[in-house]
A and B are shown apart, each in its own frame.
Chain A
Amino acid sequence: MYKYLLCWRYLRTRYIALASVVSVTLGVATMIVVNSVMEGFTHEMQDRIHGILSDVVVESHSMEGFRDPQAHMDRIRQVAGKYIAGMTPTVMMPALLNFEVQGVSHTRQVSFIGVDETTHAEVSDFGRYLQHPENRRQLSFDLREGGYDTIDHQATAHALPRERMDVAGWKYRRIFAQFQKDMKAGAPPPVADEAAPPADATKAETPPDDVVYEGFVYRRAEPAVADKAADEPADPDGKPANPFAAAARTESEFDPARQTHTGIVMGIALASYRMHDGSDRFFVLPGDDVKIIVPTAGTPPKPASDFFTVVDFYESKMSEYDANFVFVPIRKLQEMRGMIDYSTGIGNVTSIQIKLHNDADGKTVRDLLQKAFSPQFYGVQTWRDKQGPLLAAVHMETAILNVLLFMIIAVAGFGILAIFYMIVVEKTKDIGILKSLGAPSGGILGIFLAYGLSLGIVGSGVGMVIGLLFVAYINRIADGLAWLTGQEVFDPAIYYFQQIPTIVQPFTVTWIVAGAMLIAVVASILPARRAARLHPVEALRYE
Chain B
Amino acid sequence: MNNVPLRKATEPQSRPTAPGLHLATLPGETAPAAASCTEAVQLAAVGLWKRYYKAHVEIPVLRGVDLQVRRGEFLSVIGQSGSGKSTLLHLLGTLDAPDQGQICFKGQRIDNLPNRRRDLLRNRDFGMIFQFYHLLPELTALENVLAPLLIAAGAWSYLRQRRAHLDRARYLLDIVGLSHRLKHKPRELSGGEMQRAAIARALVSGPEVLLADEPTGNLDSGTGEEILRILRTLNEQQNLTIVMVTHDRAIAAQADRTVRLAQGQVEVV
Q: What residues make up the interface of A, taking CB atoms closer than 8 Å to B?
A: 1-2, 4-6, 9-10, 13, 429-430, 432-441, 443, 535-537, 540
Contacts and interface: CB of A to CB of B under 8 A. Distances in A.
Interface stretch (B7-15, B62-70, B129-137, B259-267): B129-137
Nearest to B122: A438
A336 to B, nearest CB: 82
A430 B122 contact: no
Contacts of B85: none
Most buried by B among A9, A429, A436, A441: A436
B154 interface: yes
Q: Which 5 A-B pairs have the closest CB atoms?
A: A438-B123, A9-B138, A2-B150, A438-B122, A1-B158
Interface string B177-205: 00000000000000000000000010000
Interface string B53-95: 0000000000000000000000000000000000100100101
A429 B134 contact: yes
Contacts of B135: 433
B16 to A, nearest CB: 18
Interface stretch (B30-38, B39-47, B112-120, B241-249): B112-120
B116 A438 contact: no
B164 interface: no
Contact of A4 (B87, B151, B155): B155
A438 B135 CA distance: 14
B152 A433 contact: no
Most buried by A among B135, B148, B151, B154: B151
A437 B138 contact: no
Contact of A440 (B115, B128, B150): B115
Given A5-B139, A537-B95, A440 B134 contact: no
B124 A438 contact: yes
Nearest to B127: A437
A332 to B, nearest CB: 80
A437 B143 CA distance: 13
A4 B158 CA distance: 12
A437 B122 contact: yes
Contacts of A440: 115-116, 119
B115 A436 contact: no
Interface of B: 87, 90, 93, 95-96, 115-116, 119-124, 128, 130, 134-139, 143, 147-148, 150-155, 158-159, 201
Nearest to B138: A9
Contact of A438 (B87, B119, B154, B159): B119
A432 B135 CA distance: 11
Most buried by A among B90, B128, B134: B134
B147 A437 contact: yes
A535 B148 CA distance: 19
Contacts of B136: 6, 430, 433-434
Given A2-B147, A438-B121, A535-B96, 20 more contacts: A1-B150, A2-B151, A5-B139, A5-B143, A5-B150, A433-B134, A433-B135, A434-B151, A436-B95, A436-B122, A437-B128, A437-B147, A437-B151, A438-B119, A438-B120, A438-B123, A440-B115, A443-B151, A536-B95, A537-B87
B22 to A, nearest CB: 11
Given A434-B136, A436-B122, A441-B115, A536 B96 contact: yes
B86 to A, nearest CB: 9
B152 A10 contact: no
Contact of A10 (B121, B130, B138): B138
Contacts of B93: 436
A440 B116 CA distance: 6
Most buried by A among B96, B121, B147: B147
B105 to A, nearest CB: 14
Contacts of A435: 95, 119, 122
Contact of A439 (B119, B155, B158, B201): B119
Contacts of B147: 2, 434, 437
A433 B150 CA distance: 14
B212 to A, nearest CB: 13
Contacts of A438: 119-124, 148, 151-152
B255 to A, nearest CB: 22
Contact of B134 (A4, A5, A436): A436
A458 B152 CA distance: 29
A2 B143 CA distance: 9
Most buried by B among A432, A437, A443, A536: A437
Contacts of B148: 437-438
B154 A1 contact: yes
Nearest to B133: A433
A9 B139 contact: yes
Contacts of A10: 138
Contacts of A535: 96
